[in-house]
Amino acid sequence: MDKRKGTCGMNVGIVIVSHSPLVAEGTAQMVRQMVGEEVRLAWCGGDPDGGLGTSVQAIIDAMESVWSDAGVAVLVDLGGAESNSEMAMEVIGEPRSARIRICNAPIVEGAVMAATEAAGGSSLATVVATAEELSPL
C-alpha cells in the first residue's frame, strides 16, 4: 500500500481498491501524475497470499492512512472490492464510516476525477458525484 499522503489534510482522501496490486498501483501513479501531492492517496490490491483479490484489513489500513474529517472516497474495480470496502467501513464504524463513500465509477478515470476535485477542496459529495458522472447509465 502506498503510505504517501498529500499536503492537504482537510481535503477528501482517495483510496483505490483493486483485485490486482498492479492495477491499484498503476492507477495511483496516474493520479499522482495528474494531481500531484495535493490529495491524500492510498491504494491496495491483491489478497494476503499475493494472489488476485482484496483484503478487508488492507482496505481499512488504506482508509485510515488517508483519513480526513472531509471524508474518504473509495474507487473499486469489481464487486468483491466493493463488498470488502463495505465490510471495512463496518469495522471502522460510526461516526467515521458515515464520511466514507464508495464511488460507482470506473476505477482509473474515476480516481483521477475524484482526486482532481479533492485537490481543489471540494466536499465529499462533490468528489463522489464528479467521479460517478463517468459511469454509464
* Burial of residue 73 (number of CB atoms within 10 Å: 0-12, 13-18, 19+): buried
Distance in angstroms (rounded) separating the CA atoms of residues 39 and 36: 8
Between vectors from CA 135 to CA 21 and to CA 35, what angle results, nearest 5°?
A: 55
Between vectors from CA 32 to CA 133 and to CA 56, what angle results, nearest 5°?
A: 75
Q: Which residues are catalytic?
A: 19
Distance in angstroms (rounded) separating the CA atoms of residues 34 and 125: 21
**Where do runs of H (alpha helix) occur along 12-54?**
21-35
